[in-house]
Chains A and B, each alone.
Chain A
Amino acid sequence: MSIEWLPFLASLSTLALIYGLLALGLNLHYGYTGLLNFGHVAFFAAGAFASALATLPPPGSPEYIAIGGKYTIGLGLPFLVGMGMAALAGGLLAFLIGLTSIRLTSHYLAIATFAMAEIFQAFLSNEEWLTRGVYGINVVPQPLKGTLVPVEQYTYFYLILTAAVVAVLLIFAQLLTESPFGRVLRGIREDELAARTLGKDTPRAKLIAFVLGGALAGIAGSLWTHSIGAVHVGQFVPIVTFQVWLAMLIGGAGNNVGVILGAFVLMLIREGTRFVSNIPGLDRFAASNPTFVPSLRFVLIGLLIVIVVRFFPNGLLPERRRRASRSRGGRP
């Protein structure tokens, strides 16, 4: 198997950045606020579909006919508007889910968000007028491809675009989590009752954190769908959620830079399994069973989840230890 290394590394880095952005959103939920969100993939899906439908050429237009479109909704808007709508879609879905279940504690919230992501996926696969169901939409426009940016250079251009978007959002997340609001979120994570006793409106703060994290995942969905030029319900299965969890835990929950690093580590490990079929002895199985290598990859991901939780609970870049300032007031 020969591959061209440079484009491969570029698209791998793009994917890692997209997962890093998903992890940044989840970090806001779990790493800072302690919310167990097991349905993150739903916000990712909402953003991907919103951005795709916003930017597709309208049905009936010459472009629609030229690309042989079969979808029913296409607004023909610019890419950046699509990304904005993706953020809105992810945030809105998080708002709806959060409104009903944000007050649930620990594993009940995990089950509720997991179930709601499944309901959302059932909705997307059954409402074919919106998503074309199992067929998906394979003609999602890729910004500037073939016009300003030559097709051969597109992988690198898209990597830079993704890196720029993720950098801006990383700064946003960092400012947010270091602000007094971020302190409220950490307070909720450590002891919600105490935070409430100090007069903090904790349900509201949790809902805001949930919505912002959902919006970040929505933007990740937009970056994803335009990077591959397609959107398909089958891409949005629960394993995506748990890979984002794994990226966050590898990097270090509660550390914004760490979770993005975690996504890169995850992608390196995951893509490393591509070469398993070259190992003598295993190649025989890989040839006889087409699902052998992809399944082995998920076994490794499962194993990695177990190992990280058990042996590296703080991740590669643990959360910074914070001390209360000593300057104000003496001991009581």
Chain B
Amino acid sequence: MLTELLQTLIFGLATAGVIAVGAVGLTLSYGVTRFVNFSYGELLTVGAYATFVLVHSGLPLAPAAALSAVLVGLLGVLVARVFYDPLREWGAFPLLITSIGVAFIIQNLLRMGFGSDPKRFPLPPMRPWHFGPLYIPKAQAIILVVALGTMLLIHLLLTYTLLGKMMRAASDNPVLARVSGINPQNISRVTWFVSSTIAGLAGVLLAITQVAIQPAMGWSFLLVIFAATLLGGIGRPYGAMLGALFVGLGIELGTAYIAANYTYAFAFIILVAVLVFRPQGIMGGIE
């Protein structure tokens, strides 16, 4: 009974780690661009597929993942340049709809290239650690370490670097940031890069938890990320981390104890509950 609960919590923490990485990236980009990006999930998928291709062409997993994340970062800047920047002054609605179009384009280009069938993610076989009746798969441990490392890096970036301070300033008060001499265009480009790189990394982590990759993986995961982002308060990186913890544990506990077939639906229920009862989230979102 207790072992089962602890085991579920271990898996919940790993799931939370994946969500946290994705949610922090999304919330950072919202802070500067101020629209909910429905094509964000596709960046995760591209990260997973890029890693898949690089590993099959001979690179070890870790450098392949890092290189993929950077490539996804560049892709994010390119996509923003082509599709989102021209609409920047048009308000949130055209951007929102455009991001859905972009999501379909990317997702189905992947499907054209790789087919719809799931592909096995090239993860080397690893023995789980045993602690008495508990076991911890190494993959879950790696996810947790990478997620915590990413959180720490983002914390350092936002708190101690000039760039991070500029990103926070642009997010808190765009007008004030502008008059203080922060170039909004540069900061938006850098933010797209950072948030997309994080998305690429989240895609690799997601691929590790799901074992197989397929073209709709990021799109299906998008609402889970939204749930964590909104629970934490949109535009709040630390809120997103906290939100991810709740959503990750919620998914695993719900699946283990309420209904096994509804996995992600638990995240969606959390999402709707947040929107209905506390739309500003735990930390109070930005508007």
| Given A119-B265, A295-B112: A110 in contact with B102 (beta carbons within 8 A) | no
- Per DSSP, chain B at the interface is helix
Residues A2-58 near B (CB distance < 8 A): 36
Asked if B185 is at the interface of the complex by the 8 Å CB criterion, the answer is: no
- Structural contact, B272 and A115, CB atoms closer than 8 A: yes
- Structural contact, A111 and B36, CB atoms closer than 8 A: yes
User: Closest Cβ of chain A: how far from B250's Cβ, in Å?
Assistant: 14
Q: Considering only CB atoms and an 8 Å cut-off, how many residues of chain B contact the other chain?
A: 40
The residues of B that contact A114 with a CB separation of less than 8 Å are: 223
Interface string of B252-267 (1 = CB under 8 A from A): 0000000101101100
Q: Give which listed residue, B83, B93, B103, B275, contacts A111 with CB less than 8 A.
A: B275
- Structural contact, B112 and A111, CB atoms closer than 8 A: no
Nearest residue in A to B273 (C-beta to C-beta)?
A100
- Structural contact, B262 and A107, CB atoms closer than 8 A: no
The residues of B that contact A301 with a CB separation of less than 8 Å are: 101, 104
Q: Considering only CB atoms and an 8 Å cut-off, how many residues of chain A contact the other chain?
A: 40
Interface string of A245-273 (1 = CB under 8 A from B): 10001000000000000000000000000
User: Closest Cβ of chain A: how far from B26's Cβ, in Å?
Assistant: 12
Interface string of A204-246 (1 = CB under 8 A from B): 0000000000000000000000000000000000010010010
- Structural contact, A291 and B279, CB atoms closer than 8 A: no
- Structural contact, B94 and A303, CB atoms closer than 8 A: no
- Structural contact, B276 and A100, CB atoms closer than 8 A: yes
Q: Please, could you name 27 A-B residue pairs with CB atoms under 8 Å apart, sorted by A?
A: A100-B272, A104-B275, A104-B276, A106-B92, A107-B36, A110-B96, A114-B223, A115-B226, A115-B272, A116-B268, A118-B264, A119-B268, A119-B272, A122-B265, A126-B262, A249-B97, A290-B115, A292-B112, A295-B108, A296-B108, A298-B111, A302-B103, A302-B104, A305-B100, A306-B101, A306-B102, A309-B101
| A-B contact sample (6 more), CB < 8 A, given A249-B97, A310-B94 | A36-B93, A107-B96, A112-B271, A115-B226, A295-B111, A310-B87
